Amino acid sequence: MPTGVAIREVRRQLFDAAERVLLKDGPSALTSRAVTAEAGCAKGVLHRHFADFDDFLAGLVEDRAAGIGARAAALRDLAGAGTVAGNLADALTDLFGTVAVAVVGLVTSRDELRARLRRGWPTGVPLLTEATAMLAAYLTAERGLGRLAPDVDVDALAPALIGAGHLLYADRTGPPPTAETLGRLVTTLVAPALREPRTRPAGTGDRPGGTWPVEPV
């Protein structure tokens, strides 16, 4: 096996193990010993591939932030289908219902990690910055299709959605918010910007008549 492939596989194994530790026990439990034990490998494996543990954690954050790019493309492709509020609620659930909240907690709890990450994120918080850009791109696409008002400020609405969603999911010790709670929050925030949908050209879309659904207000 080529060395580059082997290294990528080891990194992936360690990152996935760190994510499981984060989700189970939170940022305070994330140590090199906990990661290698979860990954089922010797402790020295981590230090052979990373300069130190903070270097490993920086790689983990960068890897998870890069993964939002694929989510962003999938969300943008949903523009014009379903409902704006429904698509946004699903995106927030996918984002905060997984490891994002734990990673943000990890970043805010470790000074050395934050310092290292500033090289790639001089402003903002990793993952939340990418997530905000993801929602802004989707909202821009919906605005272009006429499902949002032409004057809606997507650069203000996107961080408002991310901030509100993060608050709902921030308490990892309690149950996650219900779909109804999240849906009500998203609908409240986007309702002022929603517009009556226009008709898709005949033969496009996946709904009879080629029309888009009316957003709930």
Q: Which two tokens stand for residue 23?
A: 């989700």
Say if residue 3 is in the same domain as residue 91: no
Q: What is the pLDDT of residues 177-196, one digit of tens each?
A: 899 999 999 999 999 999 85
Mean pLDDT of the 3-25 span: 79
Answer yes or no: are the C-beta atoms of 190 and 184 closer than 8 Å.
no
Q: Say yes or no: 183 and 122 in one domain.
A: yes
Alpha helices in the chain (DSSP H): 3-25, 32-39, 43-49, 53-77, 84-96, 100-109, 111-117, 128-144, 154-169, 179-190
151 in any annotated domain: yes
Q: Mind listing the pLDDT tens digit for each residue in 89-121?
A: 999 998 887 777 788 888 888 888 888 888 777
Query: Is 37 found in the same domain as 92?
Result: no
The verdict on 40 and 69 lying in the same domain is: no
Q: Which residues pair with 194 in a beta bridge?
A: 148
- 60 part of a folded domain: no
Q: At 12, which CATH number?
A: 1.10.10.60
Same domain, 98 and 13: no
Domain that holds residue 98: 65-210
Are residue 150 and residue 106 in the same domain, yes or no? Answer: yes
Residue 126 has pLDDT above 70, yes or no: yes
Residues 108 and 206 in one domain: yes
Residues 106, 27, single domain; the answer is no
Choose among 159, 183, 165, 158: nearest CA to 82: 183
Shared-domain flag, residues 43 and 69: no
